[in-house]
Amino acid sequence: MRKIKSFTYYSVVVVGLIWLVLAGGACNQNSSSASVEPAAVESKPENPAVTSPLNREVETAQKLIEKSPNAPNGYNSLSVAYIQSARETGDFSLNSKAETAVNRALELEPENPTAQKIKISLMLTFHRFEEALEAATRLQKKSRQDAFIYGALTDANVELGNYAEAIDAAQQMVDLRPNMESYARVSHVRSLHGDSEGAIEAMQTAAKIADPMNKESQAWCLVRLGEEFFRIGNYTEAEKQYDAALQTLPNYHLALAGKGHARAAQNDFETAVKLLSESNNRVPNVENIILLGDVYSKIGKPDEADKQYELAQFVEQQFGNTDQRRLALLWADRDTKLDEALTIAAREHEARKDIYTADVYAWCLYKKGRFQEAKKAAGEAMRLKTKDARIFYHAGMIEKGLGNKKAAADYLKKALEMSPAFDVLQAEKAKAALQEIS
């Protein structure tokens, strides 16, 4: 991989977070969240989840619309207000209102650049990556010096597995605008390619230059930094970053979940349950609901665990349905609904060629006893040399299924050396499999 170079530090003011950078015009915020079916544009904010500052932003946007109902600016502002509210409150249905609002802006002015950027951001939010890539590519031809476009190209290409293109786009973005959003993307691309040190360095820079007025943005960076430390098994340092995020933004659901995960990795399951429950009470998240279920399983509360697993399936199928890979992984891990899990994984693998989709596909194939096919998919998942213990664990179990004991032991050792508590339940299975081989 051509390593993304180091960049000169600039102190810049940025607004919003990783998905959207809108300079000028009626909007200057951004988004990232899952959603449900589109709803009509509301004349008044009805959802109590909208916090007071964002409530005021919605009201301001409504006044713009009332003043100029045939101009796109008010609808753009309304869309961004809903998007940012969805980020901060976890009420992801607000993204549907955001899309309805921006669609109206595009009806009024199809070539409005701000509306086009918001629309691309929402395409990424809804996991319509091919659409986002096509739209961003078209926009790039009109404006080759817009950092937002290269951020969107980075995101879409990463999710589709076009990693060389993602590197180029991230490089272009950080060269044009070395701000928090661009450094966050550099961090992610470096992490994917196994450069943990570089990923941590870039995310530390992102956290330093995040807009000091945007506490959610700062906290988000710290949570991502914690995840990088967790990935390489440094649970103590990961927890420090989650604590820093909670100091920045008290009760931030992502930081609560991260700290809960770190506590579980250090065998403090009582605290883990408390933190994960609090996070999920604030913002139900499939990943964290499953993690809470795993902790309950670990401490011998199968009934409580089953409730969480059932809730995760309900939330994903009824309210998410944008990315069912985690559902397929849940079923494969629990040896249930294996046909359905493989169907989901195969469909996703056909549509996108990123390493994490390949990993889930490999695991589902393994669980169905299709070891040779699983090995091929596992090879796809490992092609970037990403430091992800789960990927190596899956590869090790696949080799064990094929009877390749040495390869199996090598992969399992690598997973456990990298992050000995990478998963509350699966790490123990990795240790048992390695012991069995030995």
Task: Tell me: pLDDT of 223 over 70.
Answer: yes
Determine which helix (DSSP H) or strand (DSSP E) holds 207, and give its type and residue range: helix 196-209
Evaluate if residue 152 carries a pLDDT over 80. yes
- Residue 93, token pair as written in the block: 């249905």
- Residue 44's nearest CA partner among 91, 82, 92, 95 is 82
Domain 324-437 sits in CATH at 1.25.40.10
| Mean pLDDT (whole number) for 262-286 | 95
The pLDDT tens digits of the residues spanning 300-313 come to 999 999 999 999 99
Please count the residues of the chain: 438
pLDDT at 13: 23
pLDDT band at 53 (very low <50, low <70, confident <90, very high): low
- pLDDT at 164 > cutoff 50: yes
Among 83-97, 132-146, 218-232, name the one with the lowest average pLDDT: 83-97
CATH class of the domain defined by 22-127? mainly alpha
User: pLDDT grade, residue 319 (50/70/90)?
Assistant: low
Residue 427 has pLDDT above 90, yes or no: yes
Closest by Cα among 407, 169, 348 to 415: 407
**pLDDT > 60? residue 35:** no
Per-residue model confidence (pLDDT) at position 58 = 87
Residues 155 and 189: beta-carbon distance below 8 Å: no
For 129-145, how does the pLDDT look when each residue is reduced to its tens digit (9 = 90+)? 999 999 999 999 998 99
Residues 92-125 pLDDT 10s: 788 999 999 999 999 999 999 999 999 999 999 9
pLDDT given for residue 57 in this prediction: 86
Cα(319)–Cα(58) distance, integer angstroms? 24
DSSP 230-254: HHTT-HHHHHHHHHHHHHHSTT-HH
pLDDT computed for residue 55 by the predictor: 77
Asked whether the domain spanning 324-437 has the same topology as the one spanning 22-127, the reply is yes
At 328-365, the pLDDT tens digits run: 999 999 999 999 999 999 999 999 999 999 999 999 99
For residues 244-254, average pLDDT: 96
How confident is the model over 3-15, as a mean pLDDT?
A: 33
Domain boundaries, the chain: 22-127, 324-437
Structure tokens at 382: 């490992």
